[in-house]
Chain A
Amino acid sequence: MNAIELSNVSKRYEQKTVVKNVQLKVRTGERMVMIGHNGAGKTTLMKLMLGLTRPSEGQVQVLGVDPAVSTSSKRQTLGYVPESVAFHGAMKGREVLAFYAGLKKVPAAHYNDILARVGLKDAADRRVSTYSKGMRQRLGLAQAMLGDPQLLFLDEPTSGLDPSLRRQFYELIDSLSRSGTTSLISSHSLNEVEARADRIAILKNGVLLACGTMPELLEQTGLPIYVQLKTAAAAVNSVAEKMGWAGEVHKLDERNLEIRCRVSGKMELVRRIAALGDSVEDMNIVPPRLDEIYNHYMENVQPQ
């Protein structure tokens, strides 16, 4: 079942079209990551899915209903961390969470537990104005986790977090995902999200250019993979010669070489390397990272 379904959704503000004809389905329990430049339409798509704004054309369905007219009970099951999360500075962390917990009718024991899970237990009775950006971000995540949401919308959730907090953050998302929570994350930290996403949606100027798993995207782009070989002493030239069929071969030094080949030729290449026996001492396959895939789409694919 799909948690989110967007059918031919467009959004215009006066003369400017910020989302164009987007078709997107997010399956229940999936971790979908949206990437794109600033102004690509990521935040607008989230607002459309949250019912904060209505589509100019097309249909949005979230958990089976139109979010713009959805009932309180449906919103009970959503969590959202806005791009620039803001809270009343004079309130204490615990008071902020108590307020939002009240709106979702979540008991105090539950939100105290969430404060501990996001690492704000000790700072809970301090004013939010004394919080660092990372702490505010964590408070933002804490409010989104209230009431065990089925669907989480996270707009640039890790900006302002240091590397260890980012890791903790994704561990939290992973544990929520394991318990069936669907999450939609927008991010600029491409290499950070590639291992965390079940599927990735790439947006450019309001158009959804591509959506798929990392291998699917890699196949669509046709980007080469790199196979690095460490050869036995004095075997580097003969190995380079034998591998010439697969693609460009670069000799890195007297023992190492790198072969640039197509994804479709990878398995044949591996078989032939295995057949070389002791001539090859070690090998390493380096697929393109998400930032290369992203750049490929930004530079070579034009929105229709």
Chain B
Amino acid sequence: MNATRLLAINEFVDGLRNRWVAACILLLGSMALTLLLVGSAPSGSTGAGALAISVVSLASLSVYLLPLIALMLSFDALVGEFERGTMLLLLTYPVSRWQVIMGKFFGHLMILTAAITIGYGGAALITVFTTDSGTVGWQAYLTMMASSLLLGAVFIALGYLVSVIVRERSTAAGAAVVLWLLFVVLYDLGLLGILLADHEQQISQALFSFLMLASPTDTYRILNLTAFDTVSQAAGIAGVAAKQGFSLPLLLSLLVGWIILPLLATIGLFHRREL
């Protein structure tokens, strides 16, 4: 079996063994089901189904939760193995360093895929089959699931970057928390602060849009709140951002870029690292 695939399967089985997969499915599933059932109650007269409505609330929660889960999976992926001494042994085997990173990445991605597919997907199926909310907005819901996976992958990759730079697990844990705060909370607060301070409206909407797109979490938000009409009706900021012409392919490629760049940086640093 190819080394990358073997490492990925090993990482996924490890996730199954230490209950990571089960915990993630349970967490995402219960959250999605709650929001879907709440969403299905008032949807009758608005024309928007529970799936479409819940995309707004689920995306808003996922933006906090998925980066956190992804960082927790990835922050000690490398530094933990350096500390335990298992990396030393692994690298004497016929496996390249890029294969180690990509194997871990695909393994962790499989954990997130299982959690999102079973958690979010399962909750949607339960809602569709047990309530009369219908399937309106299923494309938006599927896009939300796919982009959630991409958002998780972004933070897995960022977690690896932290993991390859620092020398101790405890430092990696601290750095992961800072990374989460920065991208999920502080960046948006900063943008909000700039808006409030900009009385003269010197910052153009184009520049502001660019600043929003510079953050993977905002890219994810914009993607889910504006990509589909059924959803944007229910989302507050939808109309504003939609006018900027952020196409779905652009937003998706931005997220993919946020995955590839940290991964490449991690592989580069890992190659230079001496054990």
State the A residues within 8 Å of B (CB): 47, 50, 52-54, 72-73, 75-76, 78, 80, 82, 84-88, 90-91, 99-100, 102-105, 143, 153
Q: Report whether A103 and B94 are in contact in the complex, using a CB–CB cutoff of 8 Å.
A: yes
Q: Report whether A103 and B274 are in contact in the complex, using a CB–CB cutoff of 8 Å.
A: no
Q: Report whether B6 and A102 are in contact in the complex, using a CB–CB cutoff of 8 Å.
A: yes
Query: Given A90-B17, A99-B6, A99-B10, are A52 and B88 also a contact pair (CB < 8 Å)?
Result: yes
Q: Report whether A52 and B85 are in contact in the complex, using a CB–CB cutoff of 8 Å.
A: no
How distant is the Cα of A87 from the Cα of B90 in the complex, in angstroms? Answer: 11
Q: Report whether B94 and A90 are in contact in the complex, using a CB–CB cutoff of 8 Å.
A: no
Q: Report whether B89 and A143 are in contact in the complex, using a CB–CB cutoff of 8 Å.
A: yes
- How far, in Å, is A45 (CB) from chain B's closest CB? 14
- How far, in Å, is B135 (CB) from chain A's closest CB? 41
How distant is the Cα of A73 from the Cα of B96 in the complex, in angstroms? Answer: 12
How distant is the Cα of A78 from the Cα of B85 in the complex, in angstroms? Answer: 18
Q: Report whether A82 and B94 are in contact in the complex, using a CB–CB cutoff of 8 Å.
A: no
Whether B243 sits at the interface, judged by CB under 8 Å, is: no
Interface size class of B (residues with CB under 8 A): 20 to 34
Residues 74-106 (chain B) with a chain A CB within 8 angstroms: 84-86, 88-96
Instruction: Identify the closest chain A residue to B18 (Cβ).
Output: A90
How distant is the Cα of A37 from the Cα of B85 in the complex, in angstroms? Answer: 21
Contacting residues, chain A, for B17 (C-beta < 8 A): 90-91
Contacting residues, chain A, for B88 (C-beta < 8 A): 47, 52, 82
List of 4 A-B pairs having minimum Cβ-Cβ separation, nearest first? A72-B94, A53-B274, A80-B92, A103-B93
Q: Report whether A52 and B86 are in contact in the complex, using a CB–CB cutoff of 8 Å.
A: no
How distant is the Cα of A50 from the Cα of B92 in the complex, in angstroms? Answer: 7
State the B residues within 8 Å of A (CB): 1, 3, 6, 10, 14, 17-18, 84-86, 88-96, 274-275
Contacting residues, chain B, for A85 (C-beta < 8 A): 85, 89
How distant is the Cα of A65 from the Cα of B52 in the complex, in angstroms? Answer: 61
Contacting residues, chain A, for B93 (C-beta < 8 A): 75, 100, 103-104
Contacting residues, chain A, for B96 (C-beta < 8 A): 72
- For A75, give its contact among B10, B84, B85, B94 (CB under 8 Å): B94
Q: Report whether B94 and A76 are in contact in the complex, using a CB–CB cutoff of 8 Å.
A: yes
Q: Report whether B18 and A75 are in contact in the complex, using a CB–CB cutoff of 8 Å.
A: no
Q: Report whether B86 and A75 are in contact in the complex, using a CB–CB cutoff of 8 Å.
A: no
Q: Report whether B14 and A88 are in contact in the complex, using a CB–CB cutoff of 8 Å.
A: yes
How distant is the Cα of A76 from the Cα of B10 in the complex, in angstroms? Answer: 20
Q: Report whether A104 and B275 are in contact in the complex, using a CB–CB cutoff of 8 Å.
A: no
Which of A72, A86, A103 has the most B CB atoms < 10 Å from its CB? A103
Contacting residues, chain B, for A103 (C-beta < 8 A): 3, 6, 90, 93-95
Which of B1, B93, B95 has the most A CB atoms < 10 Å from its CB? B93
Contacting residues, chain B, for A102 (C-beta < 8 A): 1, 6
Contacting residues, chain A, for B274 (C-beta < 8 A): 52-54
How distant is the Cα of A88 from the Cα of B88 in the complex, in angstroms? Answer: 14
Contacting residues, chain A, for B275 (C-beta < 8 A): 47, 52-53
- How far, in Å, is A160 (CB) from chain B's closest CB? 14
- For B94, give its contact among A73, A88, A143 (CB under 8 Å): A73
Instruction: Identify the closest chain B residue to A43 (Cβ).
Output: B88
Q: Report whether A88 and B95 are in contact in the complex, using a CB–CB cutoff of 8 Å.
A: no
- For A78, give its contact among B10, B90, B92 (CB under 8 Å): B92
Q: A86-B85, A90-B14, A103-B90 are known; give 10 further A-B pairs, CB within 8 A.
A: A50-B92, A52-B91, A53-B275, A76-B94, A88-B14, A91-B17, A102-B6, A103-B93, A104-B94, A143-B89
- How far, in Å, is B14 (CB) from chain A's closest CB? 7
- How far, in Å, is A154 (CB) from chain B's closest CB? 12
Contacting residues, chain A, for B89 (C-beta < 8 A): 80, 82, 85-86, 143
How distant is the Cα of A76 from the Cα of B94 in the complex, in angstroms? Answer: 6
- How far, in Å, is A302 (CB) from chain B's closest CB? 29
Q: Report whether A52 and B6 are in contact in the complex, using a CB–CB cutoff of 8 Å.
A: no
Q: Report whether B92 and A52 are in contact in the complex, using a CB–CB cutoff of 8 Å.
A: yes
- How far, in Å, is A78 (CB) from chain B's closest CB? 6
